[in-house]
Structure 1
Amino acid sequence: MTSEMSWIQTIVLSIVQGLTEFLPVSSSGHLRIVSTLFWGEDAGASFTAVVQLGTELAVLVYFAKDIFRIAKAWLSGLFDKSRRDFDYAMGWMVIVGTIPVGILGFVGKDLIREGLRNLWLTAAMLVLFSFVFILAEKVGHRARSFNELTMKDAILMGLAQCLALIPGVSRSGGTVSAGLFLGLNREVATRFSFLLAIPAVLASGLFSLRDAFDPASGQAASGAQLIVGTLIAFVLGYAAIAWLLRFVSHHSFAWFALWRIPVGILVMVLLGMNVIPAT
């Protein structure tokens, strides 16, 4: 069953998306919670995927020089072995690291859009995965630089990115935590996390465009609403990227647990009191 999305809902959820997409607090989880708390129903995974295009556009703009350099080196290296430098290898790392979430996202799209969007699961992941951040910060050496990234790092961080398909985990939280466990510098892990997310999120958003207008479940949005929502997410997403990169250069990711854990517990309490529905 579907319903039409209101403009105020579109604007509020787009603001939530822009502010939370790059922070390790789970944008999909927060969209799920805010939509249910204030409007009594889930906006749906398709709307979330499309509005994510705005935040991914922010990544493309923010890292435009890096992306152009890597893409140019990768294309050059394909035809000239002498030009296969680190940027060429980086291109392959992003491609290979994206494969796991691409396959899992395609094969399990129905489960992702419906089965995994239970609020009990979202709340539990907000709480439990916070301890993964804390452990990663505690045991990670955080000594390896960007030029020390390897294909093994890309594969393992790519596998960790699959966890982001579960609302409440967080794409950046999963990939950055994996990077910290692998000994990467916090800022390096964060920057690579952004690059790794680009192909997967762009593909997911484009693939979900049709469903966002006429979803099998959740709410339907108009073309104008999707455009405005994407623009809002872009502006706030760009600001969030700049802030997060400055923050992680001096602060632990574990600080985000101070937000995630209380929010998760609050949602569990509201669910237990039947104030909000789980599905």
Structure 2
Amino acid sequence: MDISALIYALILGVVQGITEFLPVSSSAHLIIVSWFFQGDTLPLSLNVALHIGTLVAVLIYFKKDWWAIADGVLKAATKKEKSFSSHVLLPGMIIGSIPAGVIGLLWKDEIERFFHNPGFVVYPLAIVGVALWLVDLKVPAKRSLQDLSIRDGFLVGLAQACALIPGTSRSGATILGGRLLGFDRESAARFSFLLGTPAMLGAALLEAKNISQSLSDPVFYIGFVTSIIVGILSIHFLLEFVKRFGLAAFAIYRVILAISLFFLVN
């Protein structure tokens, strides 16, 4: 058993679990860590584990929301009852997932090939960081999640599509989109996680064909379990943190990381 590979999996599981949900860009951090450790792409089994682990984390943490959606859909089908979960939230999530889904299916490989390097991620890290700070500072938070419309879901989904560019951050882009639409910080973050679930599911399904060959690799289980545990803790931390302190700390972190990375790779 290669101990160094297991340690590498543990580190990347922690990095993925934290940065997938915090608005600091998981792709940028995984690129950076991989570059420092090996300088090449992630092992297949670890890539599969991280995708599935973060999906499981969000399913577990928001289990009440998923039960509410399922209950709303069942009541709509059997009793013709309308609810926010079945007639607004779920359609908003579905429609909001279309932009990233279409762009990802058509150009995912080209995007990764062109942008997947430490030198490039400097720019989205800094730009989105500054935008998070300015928008959170200037845009009044007048709306809660219950004020969501299907149109809002689509607009936040357009922001999510921008996160296909490494360094942008899916949660950063969608929280930014939610705040631009006037949602309070906690509501913007909560919808960001819910909207991200179909994207995480899609990423996991794309790796499904590789699951069988990954199950014999201990690296898979280390990355999988670590990303679940750390992911759940990260979701809870973010929801509580932004409610009390806002987004400035994440903006500052992104800019500092971008500047540091610029000097490291140049």
Is the pair's TM-score, using the shorter chain for normalization, greater than 0.5?
yes
**1:241 counterpart (232, 235, 241):** 235
Structure with the larger helix share: 2
Instruction: Give 1:87's aligned residue.
Output: 85
Partner of 1:277: none
Q: Secondary structure of 2:143's match?
A: coil
Is the Cα contact below 8 Å between 2:46 and 2:219 reproduced in 1?
no
Shift of 1:107: 1.1
Q: Is the 8 A contact 2:12 2:33 kept in 1?
A: yes
Residues 18 and 27 of structure 1, relative CA distance in 2, 3 Å threshold:
same
Match of 1:157 in 2: 156
CA pair 202-50 structure 1, distance change in 2 beyond 3 A: farther
What is the match of residue 121 of structure 2?
Answer: 122
Give me the whole-angstrom Cα distance separating, in 1, the residues matched to 2:111 and 2:77: 35
Q: 1:78, CA displacement in angstroms?
A: 4.2
Which residue in the other structure is 1:276 paired with? none
Q: Does 1:24 align with 2:18?
A: no
Give the percent of matched residue pairs that are identical in Structure 1 and Structure 2: 37
Deviation at 1:47, TM superposition (A): 4.5
Q: SS of 1:108's equivalent?
A: helix
Residue 207 of structure 2 is aligned to residue 205 of structure 1 = no
Query: What pairs with 1:1-279 in structure 2 (closer than 5 Å)?
Result: 6-43=5-42, 47-48=46-47, 50-78=49-77, 80-81=79-80, 83-88=81-86, 89-210=88-209, 223-272=217-266
User: How big is the shift at 1:149?
Assistant: 0.7
Q: Contact 1:44–1:113 at 8 Å: present in 2 too?
A: no
The one-letter amino acid paired with 1:122 is: V
Distance 1:212 1:258 in 2: 38
Specify every segment of 5 or more residues in structure 2 that has no aligned partner in the other structure, as ranges: none
Structure 1 residue runs without a partner (length 5+)? 215-219, 273-279
Deviation string for 1:159-197 (max 9, x for gaps)?
Answer: 111122111111111001111010001100110111000
**Does the Cα contact within 8 Å between 1:213 and 1:223 map onto a contact in 2?**
no
Check whether the contact 1:24–1:173 (CA below 8 A) recurs between aligned residues.
yes
For residue 167 of structure 1, what is the amino acid of its counterpart?
Answer: P
Q: TM-score, normalised by structure 1?
A: 0.87
Structure 2: how far apart are the matches of 1:113 and 1:178? Answer: 23
User: Matched residues in 2 for 1:181 and 1:22: separation?
Assistant: 19
- In structure 2, give the amino acid aligned to 1:196: L
One-letter code aligned to 1:179: G
Checking the alignment, whether the CA contact within 8 Å between 1:45 and 1:112 is kept in structure 2 is no
CA distance in structure 2 between the partners assigned to 1:229 and 1:112 by the alignment: 25
The residue type paired with residue 126 of structure 1 is L
Checking the alignment, whether the CA contact within 8 Å between 1:140 and 1:181 is kept in structure 2 is yes
How far off its partner does 1:6 sit? Answer: 2.2
Which one-letter code corresponds to 2:84 in the other structure?
F
Q: Retained in 1: the 8 A contact 2:6–2:218?
A: no
Take 1:40 and 1:227, find their aligned partners in 2: how far apart are those partners? 23
After TM superposition, give the deviation of residue 8 of structure 1 in Å.
2.1
Letter in 2 for 1:265: I
CA RMSD of aligned residues (A): 2.2
- Structure 1 CA distance for aligned equivalents of residues 131 and 182 of structure 2: 15
Q: Output the amino acid matched with 1:164.
A: A
Greater shift, 122-131 or 184-193, is seen at: 122-131
Calculate the TM-score normalised by the size of structure 2.
0.91
Count of residue pairs brought into register by the alignment: 262
